[in-house]
Chain A
Amino acid sequence: MKKLISIKNLSYRPTPYPVEKPDILQTINLEIEDGAFIGIIGRNGSGKTTLIKHINGLLSPTRGSVEVAGLNTSKLENLLELRALVGMVFQNPADQIVASTVEEDIAFGLENLNLPSKEIQERVYEQLEKADLLDEAKRPPHLLSGGQIQRLALAGVLARKPKIILFDEPTSMLDPLTRDAFLDRICRLHRAGMTILYITHHMEEAFFADKIVVIDQGKILLSGKPEEIFSQRKLLHEIGLDIPDAAKYSQSFLDLGLSIPANIYTSEDLLAALPEYHGEKQRNKSKSSNGRREKILIDMQNVHYTYLARSPLAKKALQGADLKVNEGVIQGLAGTNGSGKSTLLQHINGILRPSEGKVRVGSFSVDNPDTSLQEIVKKVGLVFQNPEAQFFESFVGDEIAFGPKQFEMDNIRDRVKNAMTLVGLDFDDYKDRRLETLSGGEKRKVALASTLILEQEILLFDEPTAGMDPKSRDELLALFKELQRQGKTILIASHRLDEIAEITQALTVMKSGRAVRTEPTHDLLFNKQLIKDAGLSVPLIIEIVQKLQNNGWPIDECECLGIDRLMDAMKEWIQ
């Protein structure tokens, strides 16, 4: 295979940059062949994005060199050719759209190639068709869904007919169905000969690559075939990464002493390899029913809401949604982007008031416009998606103290300290640090603390794990459990059932502005058809449990929403 990209001794530090900080990239050496599919993984802030920005000349090396198809990327005269050769798709789809209509945005990159209008129009319509955006051609981009806008970004890149495409976490804002479709598209491009560099936090996605490069603190820690990389579980764990769930689970089965092949990395392989059970099946077990009295804390009935009502851009977000949440539970609110999750959450703390329908939260009638928003906020906390984008103070302590100041609370200092401890930030270390110097993970913690400090009874979270690396994700899930232990009622909106399966007791599935069903998590997750109809994907653990049941394992009684519970249940039957 022909060498296409060659990176030699690449080091990079921006200017100006504090002297005491190490280079962002440190002597990177990497050769990439024509037509390769390279997955790049690493924690937030490890230097992944900085690396790929060197390949299309957005950054040029402080030391060392980068050559693409024989073009030195630091030479200005190569830039035009280089940009035609290399396309890039960014993480946040909305920020990479330049024009005010869909068709014009695809045209933007072609206008830069100075092509005649007629050819631009042909190429634009070819891409619109491939991206399934023909009906949206004349719409403004900010009214597209997340999946559509990411397809638009890719179409704008493909129209220029590049040889290499760089992807920077392109799926982190997409729901499962759109994500699968997007990944499928990328795999097809790869098969058609496109060279692909793909940054991701999802180990399952990285597995699609021919080769994975692991970056840690500016250095290449490992590189090799996905199987080789994911066999280094311990090393990956040390740097805050993980292996695909399928690989993790198959290891648990091996540890249990079951005979399944080693080196399983995909869900399909794991499901096919699950063992059968032929032993005894009778055993007297009494199902313990929990006799806890349930009290409904949030009660919403037939809630309707339309954004930009009475304007040409009006959009119905809720169309008769019902929701009931019991006191003290963690409940999940699952649905694709645009299913109405965020809008529903904002009705619970009174930010939005329904145009029709009933909203009761504790003793508050939130649907009554005279109910004071500030009073509701004392009872209900809401953490928005990407909350760190809304910071407005300069220092960590001030940002967190904003809420208590609004309510003129006493002992603000102690409150700040407690909130910071709860999310795992050291008070003395962090309170006087400037917000912009924090890493992405630390900012998210500050954002959490600035809501948790109000100690509300009810906490709402909107896509709390989006864009987080595996370690930060686990820490957050642990925090939810701790909050529940303190007696809070928690509602988590997410499009990832696999993440919320283990920590929620009840689930509500939303679709097109309605709550389709609310059930105990365990019951709902086995309703595969319902989940698929809502555009979500069934967690792997559920597939495993079902397959095991089909293979004769008597584990029907087990509420196995996590691998540990499943292992315990299976242990009973292996002697």
Chain B
Amino acid sequence: MSSRFEFLGSTSLGQFIPRDSWFHARDPRARLISFVIVFTALIFTPEIWGLALGIVFVIGLYFLAQLPVKSTLQGIKKALPFILILAVLQIFFYQRPENARVMMEVFGFTITSAAVYSALNLIFRFLVLIMLLNAFVMSLSTSQLTAALFHLLKPFEKIGLPVNDLTMVVQVTMRYLPLIAQTAEKTAKAQAARGADWEQKGFNPIKQAKRVIPLIVPLIVTSLKRAETMAVAMESRGFNAAHKRSSFHSLHYSWQDGVLIFVSLLLSSLMLFSGVIF
């Protein structure tokens, strides 16, 4: 039985799985770029064919990076109700083109086959996006992410972009999320131990929302205190935004990284222009 106090379990961040795969061996910059390209293509591809290509890419990715499918399926299970609600709304409120074929009428709403098609398209798109996002957090560690960001943004330092501070913000945020989840867990437990009703008995959104309120104050207070201690700890270890910093990760770009980006680019253009090609 899983505990209702395990907030840490519900954050998908920091779920990096180290593997000895071809994909994991690629330069983090190449992986980040490849994710961003495919992600954009998945969002904007107009056709179901584009999505089909996307799913081929994602499945290939799970295979190449030896990622487990189980936690992704769980993620999908959690998101499914919301996606279905969106899909139903999509069916009912679909802008009806003039010449649309009417399938049926429900409660005065006209349902067209185009609407059903677009709803299916939406469900499919969300599913592929969730799969890709999960693959992303499982195969790119937060440190690789910050290193990749640092090196990719470095050229923009010349035009005055505070790259050091920006990547530090990302890094500290990543470090903080599990800490906040832990604090929430401790506080909720402490309140339950003093009689607060934390048990889920039936569906009562107002009660559920009310329960969260006393969590917020200690969460903010502890986070601020922690932030202060961490700032002091950072300062005592010589962090000073004004002077130059170097990086632990020395990244090496190889031709194989080029292959990864090239394949992603190719696939993405196919996805985006699939309507034209097929």
Chain A residues at the B interface, C-beta cutoff of 8 Å: 53, 56, 58, 79-80, 83-84, 86-88, 90, 92, 94-101, 103-104, 107-118, 120-121, 124, 138, 140-142, 156-157, 160, 307-313, 346, 349, 351-355, 369, 372-374, 377-378, 381-382, 384, 387, 389-392, 402-404, 406-407, 450-451, 454
Contacts and interface: CB of A to CB of B under 8 A. Distances in A.
Given A99-B171, A381-B193, A80 B237 contact: no
Q: Pick the most buried of A94, A117, A311, A454: most chain B CB atoms within 10 A of its CB.
A: A311
A83 B182 contact: no
B39 interface: no
Contacts of B196: 402, 406
Interface stretch (B10-18, B122-130, B256-264): B10-18
10 contacts: A80-B243, A95-B233, A111-B247, A351-B192, A352-B5, A353-B1, A355-B1, A392-B191, A402-B191, A406-B197
Contacts of B237: 83, 87, 98, 108-109, 112, 156-157, 160
Contacts of A98: 171-172, 175, 230, 233-234, 237, 239
Contacts of A389: 183, 186, 218, 222
Given A311-B71, A355-B1, A390 B218 contact: yes
Contacts of B249: 117
Given A90-B229, A95-B230, A101-B143, A124 B199 contact: no
B94 interface: no
A103 B199 CA distance: 40
B175 A97 contact: yes
Contacts of B245: 111-112, 114
Given A100-B171, A403-B195, A450-B194, A124 B248 contact: yes
A1 B9 CA distance: 55
Contact of B239 (A112, A311, A402): A112
Given A98-B172, A140-B14, A157-B237, A111 B218 contact: no
Given A58-B235, A80-B243, A390-B190, A407 B218 contact: no
Nearest to A405: B195
Given A100-B14, A389-B222, A392-B214, A351 B250 contact: no
Given A90-B233, A384-B193, A392-B221, 7 more contacts: A80-B240, A96-B233, A160-B238, A311-B9, A403-B194, A406-B194, A454-B194
B254 interface: no
A58 B232 contact: yes
B115 to A, nearest CB: 38
B245 to A, nearest CB: 5
Contacts of A138: 18, 141
Interface of B: 1-3, 5-6, 8-9, 14-15, 17-18, 68, 71, 74, 141-143, 146, 171-172, 174-175, 178-179, 182-183, 186-187, 189-199, 214-215, 217-218, 221-222, 226, 229-230, 232-240, 243-250
Contacts of B189: 346, 351, 384
A112 B175 contact: no
Contacts of A346: 189
**Consensus secondary structure, chain B interface:** helix
B194 A111 contact: no
A100 B234 contact: no
B51 to A, nearest CB: 28
Contacts of B178: 140, 142
A330 B175 CA distance: 40
Nearest to B3: A352
B238 A109 contact: yes
A312 B15 contact: yes
Nearest to A83: B238
A78 B137 CA distance: 42
Contacts of A108: 234, 237, 239
Nearest to B141: A101
Q: Pick the most buried of A56, A107, A111: most chain B CB atoms within 10 A of its CB.
A: A111
B123 to A, nearest CB: 25
A73 to B, nearest CB: 12
B226 A373 contact: no
A100 B170 CA distance: 10
Contacts of A387: 190
A56 to B, nearest CB: 6
Contacts of A391: 218, 221
Nearest to A386: B186
